[in-house]
A = this chain, B = another copy of it.
Amino acid sequence: MSTDTAPLTDLRVPQEVVDLVFRDARTVNTFAEGEVTDEQVRAVWDVVRWGPTAMNSLPLRLLLVRSPEGRERLVAHMNEGNKAKTQRAPLSVVVAADLDFHEQLHRLAPHVPGARDNFAGVADVRARWSRDNAFLQAGYLIVGLRAAGLHVGPMTGFDAPGLDADLLAGSGWRSLMVLNVGTMPADADGTPASHPRQGRLDFEDVARTI
């Protein structure tokens, strides 16, 4: 396990980009004042949508929580330890998977004739497919938000069925994660912007070769 941040030379991107997106990026709980605009999120989406998904199915969906009423409803579903930081985040985004992603496959995967119809009758396959691929896209999304200079605090500690029945009612969207998003974190009134960094597994811990 390692906590080092020695510079690498094998990547084709500038070291400062690697630092911005991965090495120096932290899960942030306290943000500076100031809005995160639709234009910022749209710019991120316009990049990360090019990331690969199975059959180009793109099941990721985003519910941007902006209104005071929406925020109250969201906070009510968060675990106790996630309520305060979600209450004061500049923007909270419910990251969801769309069970009805197959309705777009005639546009997204015209190279797979009949894909939409083949998925129509297998809701259990769609549930797993959409969850898998939306989590994959969530990885692209977090990278993209950080590449835009935004800071994120991803959370899975919330009542997902309760949130879905409330905020996502009437849709095929199923919540996976809530992201608090903002700009430059501040160590305001004694609350640290993020926790101390934990270690990570080394290559030898995670990789085998046959």
Residues of A near any B CB (own CB < 8 A) = 1-2, 8, 10-14, 17-18, 20-23, 25, 27, 38-52, 54, 56, 58, 60-67, 69-70, 73, 104, 107-111, 131-133, 135-144, 147-149, 152, 154, 156, 167, 176, 195-196, 198-201, 203, 205-210
Contact of A209 among B47, B66, B209 (CB under 8 A): B66
- With A and B bound together, what is the CA distance between A184 and B77 in angstroms? 48
Q: Which of B13, B51, B58 contacts A142 (CB 8 A)?
A: B51
Pick the contact of A203: B25, B45, B132 (CB < 8 A). Answer: B45
User: Which of chain B's residues have a CB closer than 8 A to the CB of A60?
Assistant: 206
A-B contact pairs, 30 of them (CB 8 A): A1-B107, A1-B108, A10-B39, A10-B40, A11-B47, A13-B17, A13-B20, A13-B21, A13-B147, A17-B17, A38-B203, A51-B139, A51-B142, A52-B142, A52-B152, A61-B206, A61-B208, A63-B207, A63-B210, A64-B210, A65-B210, A104-B205, A109-B198, A131-B132, A135-B136, A135-B139, A138-B139, A139-B142, A140-B142, A143-B143
Given A40-B10, A108-B199, A167-B210, A51:B143 Cβ within 8 A: yes
Asked if B47 contacts A8 (CB within 8 A), the reply is yes
CB distance from A6 to the nearest CB of B (A): 8
Report whether A108 and B12 are in contact in the complex, using a CB–CB cutoff of 8 Å.
no
